[in-house]
């Protein structure tokens, strides 16, 4: 972490720790959209970012700089939460990071594991950008998390990253004994683009007859056309923007065939029998809200054991905001509880 990032982290953490009444004065009038009120600490965070003229992802002149911006922002809001142990691994030829919580699961064989695929719009994100949420999910659930650095565009064009995810899951099943993992307690998880990757990996597992136990989908993108009310309502000034998503589609999914491929057009995918039970988390102030909830309804209609939870006062990216503020961390702790109930 650079000195500038460390200073920004301390400043934002201090602001977001202030009493809610003080935050409200600093944040301004409550933001109410679609019958929902944005969390005060998040409204304050967004206002500070606007005042600091933080560069929007779509304005970044090159991908390397955009990735560096994402990592810096993630470190500012995520911090370095405690964890029992972290092991660097290679999984199916991919960089991976194994988060082992304090407690019995860190030392025993036959433990569960949650295979995690980071978000970032299919072009940004890595193990470091999602280090903080993986630490919290593992430590608070008691379930080890195995994060995978899957291939991103444009270096690894679509559908390469999805192939990586399938290979990683197969590797985990094949090497369960070496990892000390119970093959009946393997789950997949991901946020945003990683949520799409996790959802597709669950479909692929069911088609292959692999006994996946759980899928955690956090504001997954499931419909590249995304002609939704949530996109119209929340596509500006709430972190994730419509312009950024359009840029990603042009770059990562440049052809009509790509846009309709079932791996990304999950609302049109054929759902097989035997899909793992799912917990789908959406955010009230997220352009991806409606398509994530539409996919949750598809799962339910297909007979999948599914729970949908909309965190009404949250924005896209709340999974990463575990080191500053109160409301996002509380949401992530609730999600960790669902992981514990499913796999722990």
Active site residue 41: no
List 126, 249, 286, 290, catalytic entry: 286
Chain center to CA of 127: 12
SS3 category, 17? coil
Burial (CB < 10 A; 0-12, 13-18, 19+), residue 301, is: exposed
CB-CB contact of 79 with 320 (8 Å): no
Q: Tokens representing 340?
A: 């514990």
Burial (CB < 10 A; 0-12, 13-18, 19+), residue 167, is: middle
CB-CB contact of 159 with 263 (8 Å): yes
Active site residue 102: no
Distance, CA of 71 to CA of 67 (rounded, Å): 6
Q: Determine phi and psi for 85, rounding to 5 degrees.
A: -160, 155
111 forms beta bridges with 181
List 98, 105, 118, 316, catalytic entry: 316
Q: Tokens representing 200?
A: 């597709």
Active site residue 191: no
List 141, 192, 230, 328, catalytic entry: 192
Distance, CA of 315 to CA of 23 (rounded, Å): 17
Which residues are the active-site residues?
192, 286, 316
């Amino acid at each position: 972490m650079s000195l500038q990032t460390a200073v920004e982290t301390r400043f934002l953490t201090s602001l977001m720790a202030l009493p809610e009444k003080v935050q409200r004065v600093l944040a301004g009038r409550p933001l109410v959209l679609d019958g929902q009120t944005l969390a005060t600490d998040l409204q304050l965070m967004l206002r500070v970012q606007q005042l600091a003229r933080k560069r929007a992802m779509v304005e970044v002149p090159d991908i390397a700089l955009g990735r560096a911006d994402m990592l810096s922002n993630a470190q500012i809001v995520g911090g370095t939460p405690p964890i029992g142990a972290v092991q660097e691994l290679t999984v199916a030829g991919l960089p991976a990071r194994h988060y082992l919580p304090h407690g019995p699961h860190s030392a025993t064989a036959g433990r569960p594991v949650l295979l995690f695929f980071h978000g970032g719009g299919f072009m940004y994100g890595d193990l470091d950008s999602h280090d903080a949420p993986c630490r919290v999910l593992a430590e608070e659930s008691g379930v080890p998390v195995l994060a995978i650095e899957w291939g991103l565009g444009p270096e690894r064009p679509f559908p390469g990253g999805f192939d990586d995810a399938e290979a990683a899951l197969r590797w985990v099943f094949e090497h369960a004994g070496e990892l000390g993992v119970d093959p009946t307690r393997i789950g997949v998880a991901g946020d945003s683009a990683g949520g799409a990757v996790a959802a597709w990996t669950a479909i692929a597992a069911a088609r292959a007859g692999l006994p996946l136990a759980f899928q955690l989908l956090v504001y997954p993108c499931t419909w590249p056309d995304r002609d939704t009310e949530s996109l119209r309502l929340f596509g500006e000034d709430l972190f994730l923007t419509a312009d950024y998503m359009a840029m990603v589609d042009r770059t990562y999914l440049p052809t009509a065939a790509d846009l309709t491929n079932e791996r990304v057009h999950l609302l049109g995918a054929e759902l097989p029998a035997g899909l793992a039970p799912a917990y789908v988390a959406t955010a009230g102030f997220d352009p991806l809200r409606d398509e994530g909830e539409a996919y949750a309804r598809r799962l339910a209609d297909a007979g999948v054991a599914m729970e949908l939870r909309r965190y009404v006062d949250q924005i896209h990216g709340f999974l990463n905001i575990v080191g500053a503020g109160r409301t996002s961390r509380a949401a992530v702790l609730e999600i960790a509880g669902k992981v514990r109930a499913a796999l722990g």
